[in-house]
Structure 1
Amino acid sequence: MVAAIVACFVIGYIVIVFEHPLRLDKTVPALLMGAVCWALLSLGFNAGTLEVVNTEGEVFNMFNSVSGHAQEFGHAGAHEVAEEGFVGTLLHHLGKTAEILIFLIGAMTIVEIVDLHRGFDVLKGWVRTRNKKKLLWIVGALGFILSAIIDNLTATIVLVTLLRKLVPDREERIWYVALIVIAANAGGAWSPIGDVTTTMLWIGKRVSTAGLMEFLIVPSLVCFAVPFVIASFLKPFQGNLATVVLTEAEEEEQGRLLSSKTMLFLGLGMIVFVPIFKTLTHLPPYLGMMLSLGVVWLVSEYIHPEEDFTEERKVQYSAHKALSRIEMSSILFFLGILMSVAALETVVVNGVGSLRAVAESLRSVIPNEDIVIVVLGFLSAIIDNVPLVAASMGMYDLGTHPIDARLWHFIAYSAGTGGSMLIIGSAAGVAAMGMERIDFIWYFKKIAWLAFVGFAAGAVTFLVIETAFNLGIEH
């Protein structure tokens, strides 16, 4: 039965990887994979052929659980106790997954409310150059900063939309878009709200906000800066843009609403407030995101985007409209992926959870954990980094690697930035690929080496900083 669960996961994952050739939304195999894995696990447990590990690390199956409680509750009652233990484990994993999903729904809704009020159009006024090299650094810096606040996927979408207005020539524009993918992924790696994987590690109490910023902001800056320095000397970024970059002031004003600036700064501010809320209250991040969404929603109900604002126009800028625009398919994809990984984490192999067994096997083959995590970074360019990070959280114990341990910081960096090496390796890359029809081979030939150099430079910087920090503690 363990083989069947693993086979289900592998087959489902292969279908997800080849979603484009199969023309099948990756949410479908993810949901099927999550449900079938738990169904197989339940069948095996109830038949007594599978053992599971609960949230306290206790290993049990139907028979040894029944024998342990049979004298106290009777045979039928002992069966109920065993089933309750299994269901309790399932509910625990569902609860941890729901924390991430609620957090993401809140963040995505806030961003959509800001977008409905054309808040991101304000960014156009910040770009006042026709020089290609300067424009590269301006949009790159915006990508790095914005991705740390509104996540790398949303930052990429916003900046690609902005570039369409600044660089009409698609052949010139795709170079900027490809470099934005690198900047956005690097910026998302050092923020707990900048990437789904760092959010998972943060909510799972593997990293803290202060720990991420302290140890990852410099490596992330290096990962962003090195490719941009090299790109500055490449031919596509020499000279000036052939067309006028800046729009007329009148057209610029027409593109904004009375509420644009207010909603932009309120939305970004309330998202940044979430880690502060967690630090002050010690409550889970999703509660802070609920509070932030409530505040933004409240303001959006009473603010006037236009001079002659009628009740009929109100629906166009409402939170209800924003909720209809968020990608629920992505939320359901994460649900399927995280629950299927939870099933692998729960099923027992060699006396421990199967993911923990994989970690022990890797440790025996590759004793250096840093090498394992670098490999994870390369894998994240091919395989979605969400299940990779979810698996790593199940592979390594908080007892051995407590919060803000070097391992978790390096996983956050590698999984977050390694995906830049291929256009399909990150959510930001996939979004850019879809919006600008960027060819996989073109990106591989022109951009992959820049992303690799940045990833390697940042990884070396991280290891140097961590080594120096540990030596300082020892002395």
Structure 2
Amino acid sequence: MKILSLMLLMLCSLFASGAESAGAEHIDLSTTWVGILCLIIFVVGYYFIAAEEKYHVNKAKPALFIGTFMFMLIGIYMVIHGMDVHPLNNEVNHLILEIAQIVFFLTVAMTYIEALIDRDVFNTLKYNLVSKGYTYKKLFWLTGVIAFFLSPVADNLTTALILSTVLLTIDRTNKPFLVAGAINIVVAANAGGAWSPFGDITTLMVWAAGKAPFVDFLSLFPASIIGWLVTALLLVKSVPEGSPHFDPENEPKFSIKKGGKVIIYLGVFTIVSAVLGHQLFHLPAMFGMMFGMSLLGIYTYIFKKVNKTEEPIGLFHFMSKIENDTLIFFFGILSAVGALHFLGFLDYLIKLYDVFGLSAINIAVGFVSAIVDNVPVMSAVLKSNPSMGLDQWLLVTLTAGIGGSMISFGSAAGVGVMGKLKGIYTFGAHMSQAWKIVVGYVVSIAIWYVQFEILGIY
């Protein structure tokens, strides 16, 4: 399915290769040998990204290769043909600025998450859930609600990984509960991430690009929560009756370690700093995040001095645990999409918007993101930069965010949960319930239409 979708992108790109770009420095190289070669490299590279589990190659490696190699080929072509390389230089400089904002932002967010993990904040959450004697259905709803409201802050992937671990802690053998609970967590995490700039990489990209102010993302809350609730109401029917067994004698008890609550408060203040700095001073959001990271560094230094502990707690200790391959992946895939944009292959999006209309294409983005991945899809939309109002930018943010839930590997949250619940939460198990997710997706779009297009509330 991924290969077919990429072939569709390739055909559409070739169809629109002669389209004019709105950019003053745009050069159409889509029909040249370097354009065709780069497109082939992108398709092949993305295949290895999608088939990460099959070939046991980290997706960051092919992403980094195609993202850098494509620009090197473009530079070689332009020098051979005596072309002015300043447009290429300007494109790369602009691209580096975009990527740096995202990478620095994610670095801070991931560092704080590692700090909270180190202080047993999430282990305490797990213990409190499993030790209360709740029924399977109540645990289904609790994990879903937590996923929906945690992902806007902790991002959808981290939220899904934490709560899928909670599911395994609750009961490793009850497959109907685990499958329904896993799907519910994926849908809730993606839906919750759609109404916050911090909830998903795509919402962060839209916010960083200045397409919507921070407050306006909150207007997607009704569409996000109602769509998830509809899916959850359909899923809960497959959750078994009864309660999981819990033995307090054999289960380790957790509580938040010293300093954990302060780190939580610092994390909240960091987010507030990023928002206010962006809204009031027009600073990049990552600037406020980096300020928050500096506060974390100062606090951990004071913590060690005051408590006279040799425990490995500190800013750089937390940073050493973050997944650098994730950051490299984003650099590579965003660079690759930037190369396609410079070559002229993203002009087809403008034509598609002109032919089918804004709403139709933005709704289709959700289905495409479920097959390909929402990051390159959203990057392509932002690079093509169609002329859209705030309502349409929020629609494509919503669909790209929640659309990935329709297929198990359509979102980072889904892929992460598949890894945690191997042999239980599978592609087949997910697709057997996929129609329930599609119903929720349709309901979310209907809520958006009533709220934005009929009532004009946003």
The TM-score with structure 2 as length reference comes to 0.85
Distance in 1 separating the partners of 2:165 and 2:384: 39
Residue 219 of structure 1, CA deviation: 0.6
Task: State how 1:20-419 maps to structure 2 within 5 Å.
Answer: 20-48=53-81, 63=83, 82-124=84-126, 127=129, 128-169=132-173, 171=175, 172-214=177-219, 216-234=220-238, 236=239, 238-244=240-246, 247=248, 252=253, 254-303=254-303, 310-313=308-311, 315=312, 317-347=313-343, 353-355=344-346, 357-363=347-353, 366-397=355-386, 400-401=387-388, 405-419=390-404
Matches within 5 A, 1:425-464: 425-437=410-422, 438-464=424-450
Kept in 1: contact 2:179–2:425 (CA 8 A) = no
Q: Deviations over 1:155-209 (max 9, x none)?
A: 1122123333333435233431221011000000000000001001111111221
Contact 2:207 2:213 in 1 (8 A): yes
Counterpart CA distance in 1 for 2:244 and 2:103 is 44
SS in structure 2 at match of 1:232: helix
For residues 37 and 11 of structure 1, the distance between their equivalents in structure 2, rounded to whole angstroms, comes to 12
How far does the alpha carbon of each residue in 1:133-159 deviate from its partner, in whole angstroms, 9 at most, with x for none?
Answer: 221111111000000011001111221
* Partners of 2:310 and 2:315 in 1: CA distance: 15
- Compared with structure 1, are the counterparts of its residues 255 and 168 closer, same or farther at alpha carbon in structure 2 (3 Å cutoff)? farther
In 2, the alpha carbon distance for the partners of 1:242 and 1:439 equals: 19
**Which residue of 1 is the match for residue 12 of structure 2?**
none
The alpha-carbon distance between structure 1 residues 196 and 85, as it changes in their structure 2 partners (threshold 3 A), is same
Q: Is the 8 A contact 1:297 1:319 kept in 2?
A: yes
Amino acid at match of 2:89: V
Partners of 2:290 and 2:107 in 1: CA distance: 9
Report the Cα offset of residue 293 of structure 1: 1.4
- What stretches of structure 2 of length at least 5 have no aligned partner? 1-33
The answer to whether the 8 A contact 1:149-1:272 is kept is: no
> Kindly tell me: are residues 242 and 116 of structure 1, through their superposed partners in 2, closer, same or farther at Cα, counting changes over 3 Å?
closer
AA of the residue aligned to 1:401:
M
One-letter amino acid of the structure 2 residue matched with residue 180 of structure 1: I
Contact 1:139 1:180 in 2 (8 A): yes
Question: Which structure has the larger Rg over C-alpha atoms?
Answer: 1
1:353-374: CA deviation from partner (whole Å, max 9, x where unpaired): 431x21233135x422222122
Deviation at 1:255, TM superposition (A): 4.3
Describe the superposition over 1:332-353 as per-residue Cα deviations: whole angstroms up to 9, x where unpaired: 0110110111111112xxxxx4
Q: Any unmatched runs of 5+ in structure 1? A: 49-61, 64-81, 348-352
| Range with bigger deviation, 433-442 or 24-33 | 433-442
* Structure 2: distance between partners of 1:131 and 1:449: 26
Inter-partner Cα distance in structure 2 for 1:154 and 1:250? 24
Q: Residue 376 of structure 1: CA displacement? A: 1.4
> How many Å apart are 1:324 and its aligned residue?
1.5
Which one-letter code corresponds to 1:233 in the other structure? K
Q: Measure the CA separation in 2 of the matches of 1:6 and 1:323.
A: 35
1:15 to 2:48 alignment: yes
Q: Whole-Å Cα distance in 1 between the matches of residues 166 and 269 of structure 2?
A: 21
In 1, the alpha carbon distance for the partners of 2:431 and 2:94 equals: 45
Q: Distance in 1 between matches of 2:209 and 2:449?
A: 23
| Distance (Å, rounded) in 1 between the aligned partners of 2:280 and 2:88 | 35
Query: Which residue of structure 2 aligns with residue 420 of structure 1?
Result: 405
Percentage of pairs with the same residue: 29
Partner amino acid, structure 2, of 1:241: S
Say which SS state the counterpart of residue 380 (structure 1) adopts: helix
Q: Is the 8 A contact 2:270 2:288 kept in 1?
A: no
| Contact 1:167–1:241, Cα closer than 8 Å, also in 2 | no
Name the CA distance, whole Å, in 2 between partners of 1:265 and 1:163: 27
Q: Does 1:3 align with 2:3?
A: no
In structure 1, distance between residues paired with 2:262 and 2:243:
32
Contact 1:119–1:256 (CA<8 Å) still a contact in 2?
Answer: yes
- Contact kept? 1:97, 1:338, Cα under 8 Å: yes
C-alpha distance 227-311 of structure 1, shift in aligned 2 (>3 A): same
SS at match of 2:415: helix
Instruction: Tell me the number of residue pairs that the alignment of Structure 1 and Structure 2 aligns.
Output: 421
Tell me the CA shift for residue 24 of structure 1.
Answer: 1.7
SS state of the match for residue 24, structure 1? coil
State the shift of 1:41 in Å: 1.3
Q: 1:211 to 1:335 in 2, by over 3 A?
A: same
Change in 2 beyond 3 A, CA 1:460/1:153: same
Counterpart residue identity of residue 332, structure 1: I
Residue type of the alignment partner of 1:346: F
- The 3-state SS of whatever aligns with 1:233 is helix
